[in-house]
Amino acid sequence: MDNLLAATGPTGDWAAYFTNDLDAARARYQAARDTFQQVLSESPSDSQSLAESLFTSTEAPAIFTDGQVYDLGTRFRADLDGSIVAVRLYVGAVEQGVHTVRIWDAASATVVAGPFDWTLSPTSDGWQTFTLPTSLPVTAGADYIVSATTAPDAHYAAENGAFASGIVNGHLHAYPSAGVYTSDLGTMPANTYQDTNYLRDVVFIPTIP
C-alpha cells in the first residue's frame, strides 16, 4: 500500500494514468493501508509469540511473613542464547511497597541487570510483571539468578517442596533446589530451604537460529 500511495502521489510514476479519479483511488489505497495497519497492531509480534517463562499460571503458593526482609530468587539457565525482557513475581494481596529487582550472573555473583525499584500496590493474589528498562542478553548454558526483595512489610509467596526436582519449560531450565534466599540484602541469594520455590521468574525471548 505504501508503494501504491507513492506511485500515485504528485510526483509518482502512475499519477498521469489517473485523469479523473486519482483522489478516489488514493483514498481506497489509504483505507486498505489503514486496515492492514490495524490488523498488524492487534497481532502479537514475533518476539511476543516466542516469549517463555519458567512458571505457568497454575501456581497457588501460600503467603508468609516472619518479620524479616529477604532477597528471594530462582536459579536458572537457558539452552539457547536470547534476552530477558521482564521479571515476574507472584504476590499476595497483602504484599505491597518497594521491591528491589536484580538479575545475577551466578558464577561470578555479580549483578548483570539492576538494581531496579519496583513499587507494588495492593492487588489480588497473582502474578505481576516488571519490564526491564533494557533487555538483558543471556548466554546459553550460563547460570543466572533472578531475585526480588520482599516488601518492607516482609510478606512473600512460597511453595515448600516445589523444587524437589527441576523444571523445564521451553528453553528455560531450573535446577532442583533452585529457590534461593538471603537476608544479607545486596548480596546474591544462595541459601536454600526445603526445596522452596519463591516464585521469582523471567520473561525470556530465545534467539532462534
Instruction: Please tell me the distance from the alpha carbon of residue 24 to that of residue 10, in angstroms, as a whole number.
Output: 14
Cell of 159: 511453595
- The string of pLDDT tens digits covering residues 60-77 is 788 888 888 999 999 999
- Is the separation of the CB atoms in 149 and 71 below 8 Å? yes
- Is the separation of the CB atoms in 68 and 188 below 8 Å? no
pLDDT of res. 44: 47
- Is the separation of the CB atoms in 147 and 159 below 8 Å? no
pLDDT of res. 1: 61
- The string of pLDDT tens digits covering residues 84-141 is 999 999 988 888 889 999 999 999 999 999 999 998 876 778 899 999 999 999 999 9
Mean pLDDT within 163-173? 95
Instruction: Please tell me the distance from the alpha carbon of residue 193 to that of residue 161, in angstroms, as a whole number.
Output: 9
Amino acid at 173: H
Instruction: Please tell me the distance from the alpha carbon of residue 154 to that of residue 17, in angstroms, as a whole number.
Output: 73
Q: Where are the domains of the chain?
A: 2-42, 48-206
Which homologous superfamily does the CATH classification assign to the domain defined by 48-206? PHR domain (2.60.120.820)
pLDDT of res. 65: 86
> Residue 158's closest CA among 175, 188, 178, 186?
178
